[in-house]
Amino acid sequence: MRHYIEEARAKGATPMVLSPTVRNIWKGATVERGPGQFAEWSAEVARSAGAPFLPVTDAIADRYEDMGPERVKPLFPEDHTHTSPAGADLVASIVAGVMSGAWPSDIGAARLGLSRPRDPKLPTLFLIGDSTVRNGHGDGANGQWGWGEPLFERCNAQKVNVVNRAVGGLSSRTYLTQGHWAHVLTMLKPGDLVVMQFGHNDNGPLDDAARARGTLPGAGDETREIDNRVTKQHEVVHTYGWYLRRFIGDARAKGAIPIVCSLVPRKMWKDGHIVRNSTTYQKWAADVAAAEGAAFVDLNESIARRYDTLGEKAVEPLFADEHTHTSRAGAELNANVVIEGLKQIPELPIADWLK
């Protein structure tokens, strides 16, 4: 592999390393994700050579598992390795999607340690959002925790899958444009839940050279065209509310139930009370949920009330940095508020899913 990379570069070409495609070999509802360790070795070679690595194995496997063994079987008419023309077209479209950035590649799910549904027969509670939902690798590095980890631990794995696909540093816009939402969609099935919480990173610049993750303020249909200096692509940027509506609509198209959460509050005090986002992201999330008829959990107000009652001294150890990322104790408090909010949604059997 290194030999191919070196010789391609010597010719002035750009080498791209792909992980293997997927064979039609199943264990129950789970398809084999590449033979042996070739995907791992391919990634290692790409990293050491400084070449782009495209994890097509997971992208293809996710699509196959979304389809199920019976629908995939006709795509392999001769054996478990070689596809029919229809199968080749499907794989080509997925590879093209990875190459164009429609799937996470450089920020691969494997590197982030993002999970998948453990038991496909069970309903799945998907969490999408930023670092206040899942910080880093979800392992408490630097003492910082998102509320998704304690929520996972509160649930009974024999009754529900809890899959935390939140990614630190992303806004509602970049969660979509970097392909993480597309990845979640391949796993969604009827009856699943999608709990979404964004806002902390949506107020950033639209087109800076570092992250370019901001969204337009509000919940309307306004747009702005930019030349994205990070992706080097022309992009139409929408409002914060537009991206939430996109997640809601896409989830419903899969038969899943969308649940909108307002952003958790920061540790910022004014006159003895936590500062709310009642005129911005909290309001816009509530407006979108109401307009779309989606369930809404107002974490911003509910958690802020808890903090107000506890007082500044008691709230201080609930945070692991100046004002944004919670400690383990703070994450557990937030998770409890999330659960209380979910319990208020009549069609959700949350109480039955808890340990």
User: Does 104 or 128 have the greater pLDDT score?
Assistant: 128
Q: Are residues 167 and 58 part of one domain?
A: no
- For the cut 80, the answer to whether the pLDDT of residue 111 exceeds it is no
pLDDT category of residue 100 using cuts at 50, 70 and 90 = low
Q: How far apart are the first and last CA of the chain?
A: 48
Output the pLDDT for position 298.
98
The pLDDT value recorded for residue 293 is: 97
Question: Are residues 91 and 113 part of one domain?
Answer: no
- The model's pLDDT over 165-183, given as tens digits with 9 standing for 90+, comes to 999 999 999 998 887 887 7
Token duo for residue 209: 């050279």
CB 154 within 8 A of CB 339: yes
Over residues 80-91, mean pLDDT: 95
Q: What is the pLDDT of residue 194?
A: 98
Judgement on whether residues 241 and 341 belong to the same structural domain of the protein:
yes
Q: What is the CATH number of the domain that holds 282?
A: 3.40.50.1110
Q: Which of 19-28, 115-124, 147-156, 318-327 bottoms out in mean pLDDT, i.e. has the lowest? A: 115-124
In this structure, the answer to whether residues 66 and 212 fall within a common structural domain is no
Residue-level pLDDT at 52: 81
- Indicate if 327 and 229 belong to the same structural domain: yes
Res 11: pLDDT: 95
Number of separate domains in the chain: 2
Please indicate, yes or no, whether residues 80 and 188 belong to a single structural domain of this protein: no
Q: How many residues does the chain have?
A: 355
**The pLDDT of residue 107 is above 60:** no
Per-residue pLDDT of 274-304, as tens digits, reads 999 999 999 999 999 999 999 999 999 999 9
| Stretch among 104-118, 128-142, 160-174, 285-299 having the lowest mean pLDDT | 104-118
The answer to whether residue 101 scores a pLDDT higher than 60 is no
> Nearest 5°: CA angle at 151, between 149 and 154?
115
* pTM: predicted TM-score of the whole model, two decimal places: 0.73
Report, as an integer, the average pLDDT of 251-257.
Answer: 94
> Do 240 and 219 meet the contact criterion of CB atoms below 8 Å apart?
yes
Q: Which of 117, 147, 127, 125 is nearest to 135 (CA)?
A: 147
Token duo for residue 171: 């806004």
Residue 267's domain comprises 109-353
Q: Is the CB of residue 351 less than 8 Å from the CB of residue 294?
A: no
The mean pLDDT of 134-152, rounded to a whole number, is 94
Q: Strand, helix or coil at 161? A: strand
What is the Cα–Cα distance from 67 to 85, expressed in whole angstroms? Answer: 17
Residue 173 gets which letter from DSSP?
H
**Whole-number Å distance between alpha carbons of 130 and 314:** 25
Check pLDDT > 70 for residue 109: no
Residue in the structure block whose two tokens are 């009330």: 305
**Same-domain pairing of 265 and 125:** yes
- Distance CA(127)–CA(14), nearest Å, equals 36
Higher pLDDT among residues 150 and 65, named by residue: 150
Phi and psi based region of residue 243 (left: phi greater than 0; alpha: psi -120 to 50; beta: remaining): alpha
Q: Which of 83, 100, 117 represents a domain boundary (last residue)? A: 100
Name which of 126, 202, 133 is nearest 170 in CA terms. 202
Report pLDDT for 102. 43
Is 188 a residue whose pLDDT tops 80? yes
Q: Which two tokens stand for residue 215?
A: 């969204």
Q: Cβ(178)–Cβ(131) under 8 Å? A: no
pLDDT exceeds cutoff 60 at 105: no
Q: Which residue has the tokens 């929520």?
A: 151
Q: Residue 132: left if φ>0, alpha if ψ -120 to 50, beta else—which one?
A: alpha
Which pLDDT does position 104 carry in this prediction?
52
Q: Are residues 157 and 117 in the same domain?
A: yes
Q: What is the DSSP string of 102-154?
A: SS--TT-HHHHT----S-TTS-EEEEEESTTTS-TTSS-GGG-B-THHHHHHH
How far apart are alpha carbons 181 and 245 in whole angstroms? 13
pLDDT band, residue 349 (cuts 50/70/90): confident
110 pLDDT exceeds 80?
no
Q: Which of 46, 74, 100 is the last residue of a domain?
A: 100
Instruction: Note the pLDDT of residue 36.
Output: 82
User: DSSP of 16-52, one letter per residue?
Assistant: -EE-----S-EETTEE--SSTTHHHHHHHHHHHHT--
pLDDT tier at 231 (50, 70, 90 boundaries)?
confident
**Does 82 share its domain with 199?**
no
In this predicted structure, the answer to whether residue 271 has a pLDDT above a threshold of 60 is yes
Q: pLDDT value at position 56?
A: 86
Average pLDDT, the chain: 91
User: Which DSSP string do the residues of 199-254 spell out, in sequence order?
Assistant: -SSTTS-SS-SS-----BSSSS--EEEEEETTTTEEEEEEBHHHHHHHHHHHHHHT
Write down which residue in 73, 100, 127 finishes a domain.
100
Looking at per-residue pLDDT, the higher value among 286 and 96 belongs to 286
- Residue with the two structure tokens 């360790």: 37
Share of the chain above pLDDT 90, in %: 70
Check whether residue 114 and residue 241 sit in a common domain.
Answer: yes
Whether 174 and 132 share a structural domain: yes
Whether residue 300 is found in the same domain as residue 267 = yes
In sequence order, the 6+-apart residues with CB closer than 8 A to the CB of 203 are: 214, 217, 280, 281
Six token digits for residue 335: 């998770």
Lowest mean pLDDT among 82-91, 114-123, 190-199, 294-303: 114-123
